[in-house]
Amino acid sequence: MTSSIKFAVIRKVQRAQGPATIFAVGTATPSNIVFIKQSTLITFESPKVNIWLKLKKNSSAYVGEKTMVRKRYMHLTEGFLNENPNMCAYKAPSLDTRQDVVIVEVPKLGKEAANKAIKEWGYPKSKITHLIFCMAAGIDMPGADYQLTKLLGLNPSVKRYMIYQQGCFAGGTVLRLAKDLAENNNGARVLVVCCEIAVLNFRGPSEKVDSLIGQAIFGDGAGTHVDSEGAVEGHLKEVGLMFHLNRRLPSLISENLEKALTHAFSPLSITDWNSIFWISTQSVQQYLMMWNLSLVSIRKI
């Protein structure tokens, strides 16, 4: 009995008192901007490299129109693509070229966002106790978590967690992990970095809808996901990251979304889906318009 009491006292001291809270948020984007026309998803005009992603009147044009994305921040530039034409073909061997970019540039972009969040937080970096770094590309050893630790000048004793290949639900994954770390380690200050640059999945002309959709909308994280085994897949090949989408994906989501919400929130007696901070939308533009209205409470977990 005495041992049990001592253990309970120790655990109480080790754990934080109260729920996890987001103190600050920082974002960063590459400096290169590409304006997207309705007739193309990505357009570069170059005498050396022809990498127009032509959109025809069928599914391709539909994809370009429905995303409503007209401005995209990209690390890739016309000059870089001129020097690396293997990235402009649909299935040319190019993994080494892509890896060389993401391994270096992802930690740098993560540093920009982290510095903004740390500045908003208002405390010295020495207070950071844990680091979570999440990315879908650039698998390397040591990982981006270690590189970011060096770039930020963090204490080597910071506990690091590296997460790869999470896809669209990366945001939810890292927040769950950060919440557990913050609430189970008294005094913990967790720096979370999710960083992607669309280098692995960029490629040239193809009529495959999977590739078009992947280049049009993939990359943003979401907090909730429906089990979709075999419906959304990404495979890292010598040609880069290849997307595969099941044509039943929209129906899989629509038919199962309410079940997932009911399972997640019934223990809390929540049935009004408009009262929680989440968004299910059909277009990027609609998502951004709803952001400020629906996700005001996002800083509180």
For the annotated catalytic residues, the residue numbers are: 168
The CA radius of gyration of the chain, in Å to the nearest whole number, is 21
Helix axes 209-217, 59-67, angle to 10 degrees: 10
In the DSSP assignment, the letter for residue 278 is: -
The label of the residue with tokens 């963090």 reads 154
| DSSP E strand stretches across 146-185 | 159-164
Q: How many CA atoms lie within 13 A of 169 on its CB side?
A: 10
Specify whether the CB–CB gap between 197 and 30 falls below 8 A. yes
297: helix, strand or coil: helix
> Encoding tokens for residue 180?
């557990």
Distance of CA 297 to the CA centre of its chain: 20
> Encoding tokens for residue 147?
């590189």
Specify whether the CB–CB gap between 191 and 134 falls below 8 A. no
**Alpha helical stretches, state H, the chain:** 2-14, 59-67, 78-83, 95-121, 144-152, 170-184, 209-217, 249-265, 284-294
